[in-house]
Chain A
Amino acid sequence: MSNSGLVKSSIGRKLVMALSGLFLLVFLLQHLIINLLSVISPTSFNEVSHFMGTNGIIQFAMQPILIGGIVIHYIMGIVLTIQNKKARPIAYIVDNQKANSTWISRNMIFTGLTILAFLVVHFIDFWIPEVVTKFINQDWSGLEDGIEGFRYHHELVGKFSGTRGIVKASVYTIAFTFLGLHLAHGFASTFQSVGFRHGKYTPTLVKIGKAYSVIVPLLFALIVWFHALVSAH
């Protein structure tokens, strides 16, 4: 088999899925740290946001790579799911899957598509307005009339204020729950996919995965609720 065979092989596709998933896991940590700043120190949050939003490398290299990673991950997820459905053209009449596997491991496409739906909402909420300000209005200053310092923290709090903020926080919380479920299987699964399974390290990795899938989504949710209930008042 030649190297073009790698990409077309089932294990090659798993490698793509695993590497893009791993990349998203790392990205999530970075995203979380910046979000935490919005609670701990609005000034640092503003500074980091301005840096991330105006730095050429981040805007024109990292951001396209990130979007590419997400696109590859979900396109491959959909491709794999379609192929896997084809591998069982006739379904069982009785299929007791819960006897041998967890719900989360069987529903990665479902939890994944929920995250994708959330990403659309999240993009409309945060990303599109930024694109409009920077690329259409050509305003890269990070400033806004009537606001002292950078505008980012002020805008964030605005987005979560009032009843709409509560509704938004609830939608975000649901999405974070599905993210947690996706990662509860995905984290450890990545290592199995790339062929790393070790008697000494795998049990620890599984534990780290469980912790990651609870702590990271939980912190994301707490931050959102902090802004909806505390900052906005």
Chain B
Amino acid sequence: MNLTLKIWRQKDSKAKGAVETYPISDISPDSSFLEMLDVLNESLVLKGIVPVAFDHDCREGICGMCSLYINGEAHGPDRKVTTCQLHMRMFKDGDTITIEPFRSAGFPVVKDLVVDRSAFDKIQQAGGYVSVNTSGNTQDANAIPIPKRDADMAFDAATCIGCGACVATCKNGSAMLFVSAKVSQFSLLPQGKVEADRRALNMVGKMDELGFGNCTNTGACEVECPKGISLDNIARMNSDFLKASIISEEK
């Protein structure tokens, strides 16, 4: 395959940045999108050009590290895949592909296509956990009966890999899908219910503080999420949060 790549280049977080055009040829349709970028970078190095910086780690769709806004969609045109699992056969020979970093006030660009998603870590630290004493005599989790439906929903929510595609996609730069997955994963289970009020208040509070936008229920996040996290989670978090702020005495 022969392609024309239009890639956002930005020297560092303070630089202005601009789109550069790179033609690339002989790409196998079976290669992944990141492998295609590896090929590009090798050719750039040979020409003495600084290679394009992009994030990646596991390259098997589980770590959430790879990002990229490809032809106007987070993780590109395929559904329920991360960029490392996107294959070049999704494109046609001769295509022009525009590659931009995820754009959000909460995700500043570090360099080229790499963005800083540590805002998600801060939201997690605000309450995305269950407090237990790891004294060695913790109760066996299976000793507590949990309805199958709840367990399934909690498990589905827990598959969120924190990639940030939901924020990148949302026209409002809202982080609701991510935060709601992290809230639901615990609030659906008896072990997590105990701290549900405080968790919802603190995680939503942190999300707002970090400059993410307000959800307007467009549903774009759910479509672009590589893990198919459902909007059900957002509704659950909305009601958890409203209950916590109106009914509970938790501050």
User: Which of A9, A10, A97, A185 is in CB contact (< 8 Å) with B220?
Assistant: A97
Which bucket holds chain B's interface residue count? 35 or more
A106 at the interface (CB under 8 A from B): yes
Q: Is the CB of A87 within 8 A of B73?
A: no
Q: Is the CB of A192 within 8 A of B173?
A: no
Q: Is the CB of A105 within 8 A of B205?
A: no
Q: Is the CB of A101 within 8 A of B220?
A: yes
Residue of A nearest to B171 (CB): A106
Can you list, as one digit per residue, whether each of B209-251 has a CB less than 8 Å from chain A (1) or not (0)? 0011111111110011000000110111111111001100001
B196 at the interface (CB under 8 A from A): no
Residue with the highest number of chain B CB atoms closer than 10 Å, among A83, A87, A185: A87
Return chain A residues, CB-CB under 8 Å to B106: 87
Task: Report 23 cross-chain contacts, Cβ distance below 8 Å, ordered by A residue.
Answer: A1-B202, A5-B205, A6-B246, A10-B207, A11-B237, A14-B238, A83-B213, A83-B214, A87-B212, A95-B69, A96-B73, A97-B220, A108-B216, A185-B217, A189-B217, A192-B235, A193-B217, A195-B236, A195-B237, A195-B242, A197-B232, A197-B235, A197-B236
A91 at the interface (CB under 8 A from B): yes
Q: Is the CB of A84 within 8 A of B172?
A: yes
Which bucket holds chain A's interface residue count? 35 or more
Give the complex CA separation of A5 and B204 in angstroms.
Answer: 11
Could you tell me which B residues sit within 8 Å of A by CB distance?
6, 8, 19, 69, 71-73, 77, 98, 100, 103-106, 169, 171-174, 176, 201-202, 204-205, 207-208, 211-220, 223-224, 231-232, 234-242, 245-246, 251
A88 at the interface (CB under 8 A from B): yes
Could you tell me which A residues sit within 8 Å of B by CB distance?
1-3, 5-6, 8-15, 80, 83-84, 86-97, 99-102, 105-106, 108, 185, 189, 192-197
Give the complex CA separation of A11 and B219 in angstroms.
Answer: 16
Residue of A nearest to B6 (CB): A93
Return chain B residues, CB-CB under 8 Å to A108: 216
Return chain B residues, CB-CB under 8 Å to A83: 213-214
Given A6-B245, A99-B72, A13 and B214 touching (CB < 8 A)? yes
Given A3-B245, A5-B245, A96-B71, A87 and B218 touching (CB < 8 A)? no
Given A83-B213, A87-B105, A94 and B98 touching (CB < 8 A)? yes
Return chain A residues, CB-CB under 8 Å to B241: 9, 11, 195
Given A1-B251, A84-B173, A189-B217, A195 and B69 touching (CB < 8 A)? no
